[in-house]
Structure 1
Amino acid sequence: MARTKSPDSISPEASPAAPRKRATGKALAGANDQLAPNRQANILQAAERLFAARGFHGVSIRDIADEAGVPLALVGYYYGPKLSLYHAIFRAHAGYIDVRLQSLAEAQRAAAPEHLLDEIVKAFVLPVLEVASQPAGQHFLRLLSRGMSDHLEEDEPIIRELFDPLAHSFIDAIASALPQATRGQVAWCYQFALGALLHHVNDRRIERLSFGQNQPGDAATAGPLLVRFIAHGMRGACSGPVH
């Protein structure tokens, strides 16, 4: 009985007399199916780290394969072209969007009218701070911040697919809590709040600016302050006409 070889040791030749063939991703993956889930996850995690650090155009498929410790062909086999892999990272975090929407729905269901805006802002902020508290989550939030600020053509489809519906849900909710505001004012407030939130979770300068009193990622202290800052800012911005 022939022994099954590991993916890394597959010979490009079936026999001394056979013509040379390049090993395909399918052959590499199928040679040891028990390793496939780990390798597939390793590729996604490696891509996330690299894209977060260098941006979409600063990373090659070979960079990702090297970072993940897998043969080059496996990256394409599991995820297709680089853009598909890039978008797969965002889809892998879709649960984070569901948590925010569930928190928003609970705030709208249970909050008293006078506290509705504060509870909406908590649903907007606190799940993101939870993601930021995890090392893997920090890479994703840095990547997300790049996607929102760099305005690359490659980011636009996934932002429209995953994050525009989320934004509309929060804008609708904020508008219900601030009935005196126009849709335009509320949309601006959402964008201002998003900027404050993403800057907070990605910033590392706060320790220096506070002379050591504040630490990056201190959700226990910064979280309630950020919620209050955003909620009061929205109330103030929408309290009357803007000239």
Structure 2
Amino acid sequence: MVTSTSRPRAAKASPRAASRPDRQQAILLAAEKLFSQHGYHGVTIRQIAEEAGVPLALVGYYYGPKHELFHAIFAHWNQTIEERLAALDAAAVDPQDPQTLTRIVEAFVKPVIRLRHSEEGAYYAQLVGRELAYGSAEADRVLREFFDPMAHRFIAAMHAALPHASLGDVAWGYQFALGALLHHLVDDRVTRLSQNQNRAGDPEASDRLVRFIVGGLRAALPAPAPTRKPAIPSRRRQA
């Protein structure tokens, strides 16, 4: 689903383009695939057109220059961020409930893992894991527009669940959690590192990832031990 603010650049379609309404989506899917495999700077518009099976000029007709096509991919998939925020809203933030932090981390992790293992979202999830970790101008624009607002919401929820920690410390915790999630999305070495006992990107590993992040946050941001009042010595009776 594409919202009204996230639709690709509109233009009057030529009769030829209008006869193939699937071409616009084919271009977007081809760009997702190639960007996820080779990175933004490793892909040309010509390669995207060839992958999509469309004339080169049609890519620019629908999306403009390459950086606009890159942006359009994340606009198209913005509903995945909305899904994570909906799950966050459903997690009642009660600092006294020991499961609160787990529910917050599940909202952060599990929709992305499900997307990674869906037929329609696999390339996009890999693109997020691969490309947004680099400080390119294209990635920074996407991060600021789509991902930073979500990050602020999750950091605020984590801070409410860990009220003894400073906001700065919780922001570090969010960044470390994000690193673990992104690495899980793109690193396939676990199969050979585990001597074929594990499958790369196994969706069943999401529960382990949640426990790892929750345990790390609690270990890095422990609640202060309750202070004990000093014992008052009893007065001995005088004879």
DSSP 3-state at the match of 1:151: coil
Residues in 1 aligned to 2:104 and 2:12: alpha-carbon distance in whole angstroms: 50
| 2:15 paired residue among 3, 27, 30 | 30
The equivalent residue for 1:180 is 164
Residues in 1 aligned to 2:203 and 2:94: alpha-carbon distance in whole angstroms: 24
The residue type equivalent to 2:50 in the other structure is D
Residues in 2 aligned to 1:64 and 1:46: alpha-carbon distance in whole angstroms: 6
The residue type equivalent to 2:209 in the other structure is L
The equivalent residue for 1:102 is 86
Q: How many residues align?
A: 214
The equivalent residue for 1:233 is 216
Q: 1:37-64, CA deviations, whole angstroms, 9 ceiling, x for partnerless residues?
A: x100000000111111111121111111
Q: Which has the higher contact order (CA 8 A, sep 6+)?
A: 2
Q: Does 1:42 align with 2:26?
A: yes
Q: Which runs of 5+ in 1 are unaligned?
A: 1-25
Residues in 2 aligned to 1:111 and 1:179: alpha-carbon distance in whole angstroms: 7
Residue 110 (structure 1) shift? 8.5
Q: Structure 1 or 2: larger helix share?
A: 1
TM-score by length of 1: 0.83
For structure 1, which segment, 109-118 or 166-175, has the greater mean C-alpha deviation from structure 2 after superposition? 109-118
TM-score by length of 2: 0.84
Residue 30 (structure 1) shift? 2.1
The residue type equivalent to 1:96 in the other structure is T
Q: Which runs of 5+ in 2 are unaligned?
A: 1-10, 225-239
Relative to 1, partners in 2 of residues 1:208 and 1:27: Cα closer, same or farther, differing over 3 Å?
A: same
The equivalent residue for 2:104 is 120
The equivalent residue for 2:45 is 61
Residue 111 (structure 1) shift? 9.4
Q: Does 1:194 align with 2:170?
A: no
> 1:206–1:214: 8 Å Cα contact kept in structure 2?
yes
Q: Does 1:87 align with 2:51?
A: no
> 2:130–2:182: 8 Å Cα contact kept in structure 1?
no
| 1:150 paired residue among 128, 134, 157 | 134
Residues in 2 aligned to 1:224 and 1:71: alpha-carbon distance in whole angstroms: 45
DSSP 3-state at the match of 1:146: helix
Residue 34 (structure 1) shift? 3.5
DSSP 3-state at the match of 1:150: coil
> 1:141–1:198: 8 Å Cα contact kept in structure 2?
no
Residue 148 (structure 1) shift? 2.5
Residues in 1 aligned to 2:134 and 2:86: alpha-carbon distance in whole angstroms: 29
Residue 109 (structure 1) shift? 6.1
The equivalent residue for 1:6 is none
The equivalent residue for 2:116 is 132
Relative to 1, partners in 2 of residues 1:29 and 1:45: Cα closer, same or farther, differing over 3 Å?
A: farther
| 1:162 paired residue among 128, 146, 153 | 146
For structure 1, which segment, 146-155 or 183-192, has the greater mean C-alpha deviation from structure 2 after superposition? 146-155
DSSP 3-state at the match of 1:155: helix
> 2:106–2:210: 8 Å Cα contact kept in structure 1?
yes
